[in-house]
Chains A and B, each alone.
Chain A
């Protein structure tokens, strides 16, 4: 575990000068503890403190960068709700050098097409792993070159034959591919080559004991740009390995395992393969090499990755879109509230028990309650009028009555002006909705 804010604070100069951009030293220490600040921004920290803090706050898992802005590792938690997962799993598609030129072209073309736009977000595949399965060194180099020229995505170059790597990699070294695997048989050659080419390298051994030994041997070569592969290819064993590696790195600060981990899928049936890959995305794989490159297979995996790597440190909110309660018709009342879940569900509960089918429009107030949002200027008439227009509710009802929370009666005039709806001030408390709406309808 990292240092707490108070532990870091003890080492700081306590001048509260504000030059680091935070108003107090303690605030700066808390930002450092949360991994949101850099010690360098403090101009007064002593060399001694810098040394103490740098070693103590060194990340438990090293960040390994390769290819086109792919970042592996640099994670700090086992469960995303404890803080967040930072670097989304890098997804690569395998291309074998056993394929013919036209097959390779088709495959790369398909991979290049793996770009999606969904719910306002853009997903894309990260890279291609070229695998030397032909046992033909020249063919491997050709394929690497061919793939490299057809894509600008991150590249992984895999061969257990050091000579094959030595032939294929130098031509694309400037694109910083991830290479490997280094095994007990070849590690001196492969790691030294990676060091020379300044590219990261995969260390592969069967099981954690063997991997531990391999890492320690490889570290003696004076290089530390490693990605670990515990060798397993079955889902259950890989899951176990991924979990152990992450736990040991974070909970025990076990340095030999303080590197990102790569997983290779074992299933051949694409749907099984995606289910398998989903496990690895959820369970700490920093990179996954997939076989399938069909859009319909990849999209759900990317959506899952997006969900899991979303920062959970956000207020609890509902979707700020028009919500339909019951069997609505053109006379149904329209309520407006905020997207704070506690607020929204209090309103929804009462509207449901009123037994009158209704529309509720929660305004996006960053998940704050009605009065909190009003206080912070996030529940302004202009914003509500815009959301109302965008919701399309005007086409769904034939009246123009908008019910607003009683606590913000003060905005009714301006809202009426901006929206040209008749603004009806509802009760202050949602518990008053039932009697309010009956009186209104009666």
Chain B
């Protein structure tokens, strides 16, 4: 609301006077004179050759009553579509390219309503699960770059086609698109060589990415429509985070906000209207189920809550979809860690206390590792016991340690106490399922009152919608990206000291967690 409704593309209907022998201006002159009379601002109006080619026929077929789609950006209007006069609204796409999943929202640019959504796995996954292996793949041969670029375009097109079919629209009705993605995804989406993103000193090719006509990318939308990519801050703090930070509105408030995307990259932004700092603490894929024996995404069959009887070590599970469990998702893992510690199955360093195995057969030693059985094979959807191993626990501790150390490092950078944080906004798919008291118990999140926390879900796609509908928001995104200071955690010893101190449940310094019982 504060940004007002002024979408990146809009539609205007004009009735032109018919040409006569005395009024013999060209079609385009006739059109632009009439347009200028109808448009609120004095700006240049441009028409691409491709649109001009069809102009004479359309004007005459429509009996000089036409609807024009315009992109309205900075100092000029560009006509992207001419059609016979109708009142059908223009549409746009808000696209969130996640490393793993891609989400597309169909937005009515006239009303601002989200008409439909689609999501699927990123087709780039076959070239690697994470951004690093995709960068490695992309620079192998010139063909592999094209291949990996095309994979994400195909993913988006597939979703777009579905949305068009469901809503009975055609490609030309989609007149603008905004993409929010991490820096690697943005460069691969635009087909920009990503090689140096991962090499010291980690330099992206471009921060303020240019807007390009959809034709250049082969997206299934109006070929002249402009595709806007959110600007990024650094190699590992990208447009998805700028988009999320815009949604939190942290850059316009006096209060200090901590914005965390709890995901593989673990991006964090801290600040207020005066200053903003960010970092990426590389938590790893644990909380999305990666790197954990029975880890999985939060979907049907995932254990999302765990209760452990401290006496008998009996287990009570809550499973998404109330079906037999097949694995454990991020929130279940956080819960599991907190409850295993409470039941004395692990010590503060995550070491398994095997002497407790006399209480329960659930705690056992295998040739490879120590493990705790969450669900026996006969109670599980598969044919194997669902277990959590000592390695899983250590992985989780490293992941939660990285997030907390990232928060502490940013605070140190600006010489601020944790208590001065007024608000914590948590984003990421995982955020939907996160239990704050559990997270504090294990030392993933700072020990602050629960009312300071808020889940904001997929803030990346929300920010893309916002920009699509407001030129003001889009301009602010560029300012925001320029304002955020990226802190390189690999310099100096701060992060490493903080990380090592956080490899403990909840932390080496217990005074940081006053509400966690000893």
Contact = CB atoms under 8 A, between A and B. Distances in A.
Contacts of A377: 198-200
A2 to B, nearest CB: 11
B482 A315 contact: no
Contacts, number: 66
B198 A4 contact: no
Interface string A372-389: 101111100000000000
A368 B275 contact: no
Nearest to B284: A371
Nearest to B483: A16
A4 B414 CA distance: 7
A342 B391 CA distance: 15
A410 B133 contact: yes
Contacts of A435: 367-368
B415 A24 contact: no
Given A23-B485, A316-B496, A368-B490, A5 B282 contact: no
A375 B368 contact: no
B492 A313 contact: yes
A80 B416 CA distance: 22
A315 B495 CA distance: 9
B414 A315 contact: no
Nearest to B503: A342
Nearest to B392: A429
Interface string A420-442: 00000000010110010000000
B486 A6 contact: no
Contacts of B276: 26
A24 B414 contact: no
Interface in A276-328: 312-316
A123 interface: no
B390 interface: yes
A313 B491 contact: yes
Given A6-B414, A26-B275, A376 B199 contact: yes
Nearest to B276: A26
A4 B199 contact: no
Nearest to B494: A313
Interface residues of B, number: 33
B275 A376 contact: no
Nearest to A18: B482
Given A24-B485, A431-B391, A435-B367, A372 B282 contact: yes
Interface in B478-506: 482-486, 490-493, 496, 500
Contact of A9 (B199, B275, B282): B275
Nearest to B495: A315
Nearest to A27: B485
Chain A contact patch, size range: 20 to 34
Contacts of A313: 491-493
Interface in B429-453: none
Contacts of A227: none
B282 A24 contact: no
Interface in B355-377: 367-369
A384 to B, nearest CB: 16
Contact of B500 (A16, A342, A378): A342
A83 to B, nearest CB: 10
A5 B132 contact: no
Given A4-B414, A6-B415, A376-B198, A30 B485 contact: yes
Contacts of A368: 490
A378 B198 CA distance: 10
Nearest to A17: B482
B21 interface: no
B288 to A, nearest CB: 16
Nearest to A9: B275
A376 B236 CA distance: 12
Interface string A3-36: 0111001100000100000011011001000000
Contact of A16 (B133, B277, B482): B482
Nearest to B233: A23
Contact of B368 (A6, A30, A372, A432): A432
Given A6-B415, A23-B486, A342-B500, 4 more contacts: A312-B493, A313-B493, A316-B493, A377-B199
23 contacts: A4-B414, A5-B414, A5-B415, A6-B275, A6-B414, A6-B416, A23-B482, A26-B275, A26-B276, A27-B486, A30-B485, A313-B491, A313-B492, A316-B493, A342-B500, A374-B132, A375-B132, A376-B200, A377-B199, A377-B200, A431-B391, A432-B369, A435-B368
Interface of A: 4-6, 9-10, 16, 23-24, 26-27, 30, 312-316, 342, 368, 372, 374-378, 410, 429, 431-432, 435
Ranked nearest first, the 7 interchain pairs of A and B with the lowest CB-CB distance are: A26-B485, A24-B485, A375-B132, A313-B492, A4-B415, A27-B485, A16-B482
